[in-house]
Amino acid sequence: MDSLFTPVTINHTTIQNRFMRSATFMHACDSNGFPKPELLKYYKNLADGKMGLIVPGYFHVQKAGKAVPGQGGLATDQQAEAWRYIVKYVHDQGSKMMFQLADGRFIKKGLIFRRYLSEMEISEIIDNFRLAAKRVQNIGGDGIQIHAAHGYLISQFLSPYTNKRQDRYGGSPENRRRILVELADAIRKECGKEFLIAVKYNGSDCLEGGFTPNDAAETAAAIKDVDLWEVSCGMLDPRLTSRFNSKWLTKKGYEKKIGYNLDYVPTIRAKTDAKIAVCGGLRSKGSMIKSIKQGADLVSMSRAAIADTHVVKHLMEGQNIKCIGCNKCFTHMIFGSVKCYVYK
């Protein structure tokens, strides 16, 4: 059997294949953080298409961490309840579902910090992540993912480029990852040993003086409460990933990159026994198989699953991936929810 279609067990949860729908801001929640019908339908379609692990993304856990309109929330019981029947539907189709929790405060290039978060504020953030994770567990979710990539708040703590604190949350690698250690520990104590805890983080910040592949490996080695590490990259400069600026990307050819995070995987794999997922332009079956051979356990996709919610089922049937990597799905989100503009 093709390695991509074999099951994998993470903690106590078995995923039916090696495919993961990478968490993405879909710009499809209302002003109160509740999902719109088209978003719920999208995740149902993913389950119908045999996606192994589905991760709805970018949920704020407190008002201060809400970054943009259209962002979903798990800051209240009512917001969580809106997802209960989708979790059940996903499970009924044989797939699993975890939810990405995020603090969307974002540092931009050239930004000068007015002040650092106090330790009391950090404690409040950790507590709100813990409460959101419990809400996910209460509606039947399989786990949560902490968003620690792309220059958002937790990523800022991890990176020596942005973290200039001189207290116990800054300086050494141990101090810079302290907030992530405390987040994982709080969620584990609240939700128990079988609840999945994942982290999406950078294999590299892709800038001088930033978080490196070795930092990523040491972080994974140090935090035993995390069951799954999803490897991404980039912060500050949109040219470093695939997320923005379609004219620049098209001109320079960045949208054609395939598997641009694969090289980070062996370094991380050498330091941890936890499961690893990798995302980033995996638009060919060959690049997906390569990711497994290099030490990843899951192939994580976003754009390919936006172009085709049945991408996994179609791969099983021998079809090619539809996504061409044009990035219009993201750069056109000002017109509404994220969707494919090639395969409408």
Tens-place pLDDT, residues 159-178 = 999 999 999 999 999 999 99
120-133 average pLDDT score: 98
145-168 average pLDDT score: 94
Question: What region does 120 belong to: left with phi over 0, alpha with psi -120 to 50, or beta?
Answer: alpha
Mean pLDDT of the chain: 91
Domains of the chain: 3-335 (3.20.20.70)
Does the pLDDT value for residue 8 go beyond 80? yes
235-247 average pLDDT score: 53
- First vs last C-alpha separation in the chain: 33
Confidence of residue 341 (pLDDT cuts 50, 70, 90): confident
pTM score: 0.94
293-319 average pLDDT score: 95
